[in-house]
Amino acid sequence: EADIYQTPRYLVIGTGKKITLECSQTMGHDKMYWYQQDPGMELHLIHYSYGVNSTEKGDLSSESTVSRIRTEHFPLTLESARPSHTSQYLCASSESFGELFFGEGSRLTVL
Amino acid sequence: AQSVAQPEDQVNVAEGNPLTVKCTYSVSGNPYLFWYVQYPNRGLQFLLKYITGDNLVKGSYGFEAEFNKSQTSFHLKKPSALVSDSALYFCAVRDPDRGSTLGRLYFGRGTQLTVWP
């Protein structure tokens, strides 16, 4: 089983709140990713990082931001949540050309 | 550009029958190919990958996949389906020859597999 952890698993919040989704991995992987997945649909890469202090935006425009201050930690932040942010957010990590290891996901509902 | 196509949104099969979940890809170089499975309210779990070598790759839970370069396909197969195999399956591709060592995967839209008793 992969050593990558996401918290919270489920979150219901009101519009305008600031939230941070946590992601940590203990495998020492340099590369980390955030994907957004709507129910039964494809995954969209929203952020990725190739190492400490390295972050890039992905293919899907997102109002979220990320940081990578430590190798093992890659949190995602929404400054002001809206109902359109309701989705499942999946964090993953990998070595250079290996498979991605995914966390269990954070399902966000914004009312 | 890299892309992955999973032509079937749903595959239904009876328990004990063989199953196939189709995947075709498009990359400019030699592909690295992956299959993942997702159970409800869970993250994606890695099943198997093709990097190089034997075109038939064996993975977790009795699944295998065959890399076919001429048809640019990487279909997932299992000789005898189980009800517990019912899940969402994703094919993914990486093009390691594309510029930098980005390490990114490009995923298909997913295929919902249902195995009935």
Q: Give the model confidence (pLDDT) of B48-85 as tens digits.
A: 999 888 999 999 999 999 999 999 999 999 999 999 99
CA dist B77 and B72 (Å) reads: 16
A34 in contact with B at a CB cutoff of 8 Å?
Answer: no
From B90, B96, B103, residue closest to A94, measured CB to CB: B103
- Cβ of A100: how many Cβ atoms within 10 Å? 28
Distance CA A69, CA A41 (A): 31
Percent of chain A with pLDDT over 70: 95
Which amino acid does the sequence have at B72?
T
CB contact under 8 A, B109 and A101: no
pLDDT at A108: 95
Shortest Cα–Cα distance, A79 to chain B (Å): 25
Instruction: Tell me what percent of the residues of chain B surpass a pLDDT of 70.
Output: 91
- Bigger pLDDT: B103 vs A102: A102
Indicate if the pLDDT at residue A8 is higher than 60.
Answer: yes
Beta carbons of B32 and A97 less than 8 Å apart: yes
Is the CB of B43 less than 8 angstroms away from the CB of A107? no
- CB of A83 within 8 A of CB of A110? yes
User: CB–CB of B101 and A96 under 8 A?
Assistant: yes
Q: Where are the beta strands (DSSP E) in A43-102?
A: 43-51, 54-57, 65-66, 76-78, 87-94, 101-102
A45 touches chain B (CB under 8 A): yes
Give the integer Cα–Cα distance in Å for B88 and B107. 13
Residues of chain B contacting A40 with CB distance shorter than 8 Å: 88, 110, 112
- Count of other CB atoms within 10 angstroms of residue A70: 9
Helix (H, G, I), strand (E, B) or coil at A20: strand
Q: List CB contacts (< 8 A) between B86 and chain A.
A: none
Q: Cβ contacts (< 8 Å) between B45 and chain A: which residues?
A: 102
Choose among A42, A96, A105: nearest Cβ to B42.
A105
Residue B101 has pLDDT above 50, yes or no: no
Q: How far apart are CA B12 and CA B114, in angstroms?
A: 5
Structure tokens at A6: 């996401």
- Give, as one character, the DSSP assignment of residue A73: B
In total, the C-beta contacts within 8 angstroms joining chain A to chain B are 55
What's the CA gap between B46 and B48, in Å, rounded?
A: 6
